[in-house]
A = this chain, B = another copy of it.
Amino acid sequence: MKDICFLSATEIARMIKNDDVKSLDVLKSLSTRIEKFDEAVEAWEHFDKNFILNKASEADDHKNLGRDTGPLHGLPIGVKDIFGTNDMPTRCGTNIIGGVHTKNDASVVSFLRNSGALIMGKTVTTEFAYFDPGKTKNPHDKNRTPGGSSSGSAAAVASYMCPVTIGSQTNGSVIRPASYCGVIGYKPTYGLISRNGVLKQSHLLDHVGIFARHIEDIALVAKEIIRHDIEDTSTIPFSVSNINEICKEAPPFDPSFVFMKTSNWKNMEKHAIRSFENFVKKHKNNIEIVDEPSYFKDISRYHQVIHETDMAYAFSDYYKKSKDKMGKKLLEAISRGFKYKSSEYVEACENRKYFYELFQETFQDYHAVLTPATTGIAPKSLKNTGSPEFCTVWTYLGVPTLSLPLLKGEGDMPLGIQIIGEKFDDPRLLRTSNWLINKVKGLGNDK
């Protein structure tokens, strides 16, 4: 049998359930992996081996006593260090806050615990989940960024230190690191996962997301955390009780895709253009190529106005009192955020609904939209986290998207294909993703 750390979350959960493995063995395997590789990768902001081995033993005891267990019983899950946890410190990538134990867990954290998961530790975030990087390196090349802001969540999964992690995206913070690190990143439809207890940048743009190496692991965890939460007014009641099954099903017929050459296409690296053109050519029976709709051109400005205004509001106290402890990019964004006009902000918010109504028509003809997830492979730098420009439109519109690790760029570095679906069509989008992964084959699976 291969080492437990290489197994999928779904396999681990099943084996624990069937008494084929103990949660303690799982955590021992992952801890060993962390001890071996995390000195170089630095994916973890907080990881306490003894603490988590104790938790795993407790989970095993609980099960041995015949007590009721949830679908994630004993499964370790890493959580980005902007999610409040009452038993571990939260630092949000800044020394302004310091590590605090929050009074309550973030809603997502408590949903995971209710389903039996073990919160394994906190993964590194960029400063306040914005652009100024943390310590994490790309597991495929230590001189390259893992992407951000969910840097540690992507790197931990990519380096087999954890089967699944939770991250967040306000612009490109799930899709980008997933693409750079070669794992699956999932940003659901806006309104499906609660942001209660999570560092807030923007009510309209913040999304909770999931990282895993397998699409069924995304479904496994999504099922437990997609929930209406009275503490987050953006969440809506929406059932995903069959998402595990739908994700695995064969589609009734082959899905049809549109490959959208957005205006950012001109910013793509040459080798990445070649990879995408080969991919599209190979699957030309299922893929049509189109240009982006004309209204897309306003969206990056709208996103910026909302994002920076909301950050200026959210971080105004820190900005007033601790400017000297803040990164350059964050400071610039906040100071721009104080300068926009309120009428511009309202225009940006109101057009979101209107633009989505226009965009939705795409799905009368196609199952999903494909674009690059990033402009290329992870940049050779630890001082910046790369560009989120291929994610901005989808985050603004609130549509579900995944980065699928299906391509390779220069030096065999991973390169994600982004797949975008209709709002609230997340279960089918996972199935379509699964279909595409199987079609491309070999890639996206374990070594």
Contact = CB atoms under 8 A, between A and B. Distances in A.
Candidate in A310, A340, A341, A346 with the most chain B CB atoms within 10 angstroms = A346
A343 B347 contact: no
Given A203-B350, A338-B343, 11 more contacts: A309-B343, A309-B345, A310-B346, A313-B347, A337-B342, A340-B342, A340-B343, A341-B341, A341-B342, A342-B344, A345-B345
A38 to B, nearest CB: 38
Interface of A: 203, 233, 305, 309-310, 312-313, 316, 337-347, 350, 353
A345 B310 CA distance: 10
Nearest to A203: B350
Contacts of A338: 341, 343
Contacts of A309: 342-343, 345-346
A340 B203 CA distance: 20
11 contacts: A233-B353, A313-B343, A313-B346, A316-B343, A338-B341, A338-B343, A340-B341, A340-B342, A341-B341, A342-B345, A345-B345
Give the top 3 A-B pairs by smallest Cβ distance, nearest first: A342-B345, A340-B342, A309-B342
A353 B203 CA distance: 13
A108 to B, nearest CB: 21
A235 to B, nearest CB: 13
A338 B337 CA distance: 16
A257 to B, nearest CB: 30
Contacts of A233: 353
A313 B346 CA distance: 7
Contact of A346 (B341, B344, B345, B353): B345
A233 B345 CA distance: 19
A341 B339 CA distance: 6
Instruction: Tell me how many chains of this kind the complex includes.
Output: 2
Contact of A312 (B313, B340, B343): B343
In the complex, which of the residues A203, A337, A339, A343 has the most CB atoms of chain B within 10 Å of its own CB atom? A343
A312 B313 CA distance: 22
A301 to B, nearest CB: 13
A353 B309 CA distance: 19
A303 to B, nearest CB: 13
A309 B316 CA distance: 21
A53 B339 CA distance: 58
Contacts of A316: 343
A203 B338 CA distance: 23
A316 B343 CA distance: 10
A31 to B, nearest CB: 42
A412 to B, nearest CB: 45
Contacts of A305: 342
A342 B233 CA distance: 21
Nearest to A200: B350
Contacts of A339: 341
A341 B310 CA distance: 12
A267 to B, nearest CB: 27
Contacts of A312: 343, 346
A38 B342 CA distance: 42
A191 to B, nearest CB: 11
Nearest to A339: B341
Residue from A316, A341, A342 whose CB has the most chain B CB atoms within 10 Å: A342
A107 to B, nearest CB: 17
A90 to B, nearest CB: 22
A305 B343 CA distance: 10
Contacts of A342: 305, 309, 337, 340-342, 344-345
A11 B224 CA distance: 54
Nearest to A309: B342
Nearest to A347: B313
Contacts of A345: 309, 342, 345-346
A350 B312 CA distance: 13
A340 B316 CA distance: 17
A93 to B, nearest CB: 23
A428 B207 CA distance: 38
A309 B345 CA distance: 9
A357 to B, nearest CB: 12
